[in-house]
Structure 1
Amino acid sequence: MMTVLLVLHLIVTLALIGVVLLQRSEGGGLGIGSSGGMGSFMTGRGTANLLTRTTGVLATLFMVLALAMALLGRGQSRPGSILDLPPGPAIPSVPTSQAPGPNPSTTQQPTTTPAQPAAPAQPSVPTN
């Protein structure tokens, strides 16, 4: 049932987009319906009324289908958020700069610490 409503919702959405783009725009936008095709057999006023009514009907269908899908999907037992999911297995992250090789968690790290650099005996003063 949900799949049928989703496909119908997609068809109504595409039809609504098409009808809105066909309308004559007052500001010079994408109104492409006034120059040819439809305007040749109907008056400008009749075309505007038809497209306005069609837009209203499609917008109403769009809202009704959206509410119907929301109400049908409400009773499903899926978690509503990613945060509600149980934690999955941990996936170790590998830096992209590291070449593939042995697993760093299984290799032994050296136990000795690197030698510290010796401090300068006297402060250095720049000469000009």
Structure 2
Amino acid sequence: MENVILVIHLILALCLIAVVLLQRSEGGGLGMGGGGGGAAGGLVSGRAAASALSKLTWLFAVAFICTSITLTIIAAKNSAGGSVLDRLGADAPASSSEGAGDLLGDDLLPPSAGDEPLVPPRAD
């Protein structure tokens, strides 16, 4: 079910991008310029095409928001079981210092105050 909604969500995103790019720019920025019918040809006026594209944009936007909320709810229900480590079945590492030393090994830990300093060997 989640995959179906995700595919619909992606299709809506692409349709929303396409419809927004098809609309005539009011400021003349990236628009294809003014003109009589534009992409509508001679069938409808430019004003009717702009109104239809505006309504289509609103439709795609509302559907996109609905699928976004639905995917969020599904993800929240799926993650209610616990942490990622619980779902993988792995044990969490020990938080005590002696447990950490066993996992990492003594050579990775910094020297303690009682240890003698490390001196590089002489090359004689």
The two structures have a TM-score, normalised by structure 1, of 0.58
Q: CA RMSD in A?
A: 3.2
Structure 2 unaligned regions, length at least 5: 85-89, 94-102, 105-118
1:71 Cα shift? 0.3
1:68 and 2:70 aligned: yes
Structure 1's unaligned 5+ residue stretches are 91-109, 116-128
Aligned amino acid, residue 73 of structure 2: L
Q: Tell me by how many angstroms 1:15 deviates.
A: 0.4
The residue aligned with 1:10 is 10
Aligned to 1:44: 46
The 8 Å contact of residues 16 and 58 in structure 1, kept in 2 or not, is answered as: yes
SS in structure 2 of the partner of residue 42 of structure 1: coil
TM-score (norm 2): 0.60
1:8-41 C-alpha deviation (Å, 9 max, x unpaired): 0000000000000010101113334965432432
Return the index of the structure with the highest Cα Rg: 1
Equivalent residues of 1:19, 1:51 under 8 A apart? yes
Q: Count matched residues.
A: 91
